[in-house]
């Protein structure tokens, strides 16, 4: 895909949604960090239902740590893998209190040192909470990037590097959100909704579908 096509793709995505936002509910960097940890292999809707009950009761490292693994599990047991996630979140809260003054760190290295935080989670927090130029490649972004031809790669790190290189600089900060939303609602896994796609004429996917 050439640079002119990429520029027009992101121009249209920006035009349709000038200020894209994550669908995870949060009101602080800490709430976002916990929501992203909980969202692994789970839906944003499911996570939001759980945190809507949790955060009014506990939304600081100290308050969630005080719940303990069993106490936290009661709030998040509707989420997949909740037992291991509860352990990770409690340990993350402990480390935030002990090492970071209860503040969410603003570097990838420090974030990835927290339990349950991998490269993708760190990138989401850095981009969404702290507005850093990072690209969190999830299954949606991986699919959309490869399928459209915007950025091709055999694994998420390859795609991340390609996107960081090829997404037009003026659109890079919010491109993570546009690509996720596009993959979630339009360029879906089983059958892309090409007939409803704003960038169908620019996309290099060979097996285009109708919406019938």
Q: How far is Cα 3 from Cα 10, in angstroms, rounded to an integer?
A: 11
Q: Provide the percentage of residues in the chain whose pLDDT is more than 90.
A: 93
- Residue 98, Ramachandran bin (φ over 0: left; ψ between -120 and 50: alpha; else beta): alpha
Is residue 154 classed exposed, middle or buried when 0-12, 13-18 and 19+ CB atoms within 10 A define those classes? exposed
CATH architecture of 3-20+135-202: Orthogonal Bundle (1.10)
Looking up tokens 């969190």, which residue turns up?
Answer: 136
CATH architecture of 29-130: Orthogonal Bundle (1.10)
Is 93 part of any known ligand binding site?
no
Q: Where are the chain's structural domains? A: 3-20+135-202, 29-130
Is 203 part of any known ligand binding site?
yes
Is 187 part of any known ligand binding site?
yes
pLDDT, one tens digit per residue, over 74-113 is 999 999 889 999 999 999 999 999 999 999 999 999 999 9
49 labelled catalytic: no
pLDDT in 10s for each residue of the chain, 212 residues: 899 999 999 999 999 999 999 999 999 999 999 999 999 888 999 999 999 999 999 999 999 999 999 999 999 999 988 999 999 999 999 999 999 999 999 999 999 999 999 999 999 999 999 999 999 999 999 999 999 999 999 999 999 999 999 999 999 999 999 999 999 999 999 999 999 999 999 999 998 887 65
pTM here? 0.88
44 labelled catalytic: no
> Under a CB-based contact definition with an 8 Å cutoff, are residues 164 and 172 in contact?
yes
């Amino acid at each position: 895909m050439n640079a002119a096509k990429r520029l027009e793709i992101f121009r249209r995505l920006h035009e349709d949604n000038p200020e894209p936002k994550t669908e995870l509910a949060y009101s602080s960097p800490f709430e976002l960090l916990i929501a992203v940890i909980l969202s692994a292999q789970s839906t944003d809707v499911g996570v939001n239902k759980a945190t809507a009950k949790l955060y009014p009761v506990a939304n600081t490292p100290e308050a969630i740590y005080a719940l303990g693994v069993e106490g936290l599990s009661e709030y998040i047991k509707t989420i997949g893998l909740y037992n291991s996630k509860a352990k990770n979140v409690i340990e993350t809260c402990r480390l935030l209190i002990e090492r970071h003054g209860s503040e969410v760190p603003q570097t990838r290295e420090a974030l990835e040192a927290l339990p349950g935080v991998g490269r993708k989670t760190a990138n989401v927090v850095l981009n969404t909470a702290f507005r850093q130029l990072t690209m969190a490649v999830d299954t949606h972004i991986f699919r959309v990037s490869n399928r459209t031809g915007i950025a091709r790669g055999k694994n998420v790190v390859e795609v991340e590097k390609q996107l960081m290189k090829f997404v037009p600089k003026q659109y890079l900060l919010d491109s993570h959100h546009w690509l996720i939303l596009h993959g979630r609602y339009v360029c879906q896994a089983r059958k892309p909704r090409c007939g409803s796609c704003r960038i169908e004429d620019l996309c290099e996917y060979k097996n285009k579908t109708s919406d019938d």
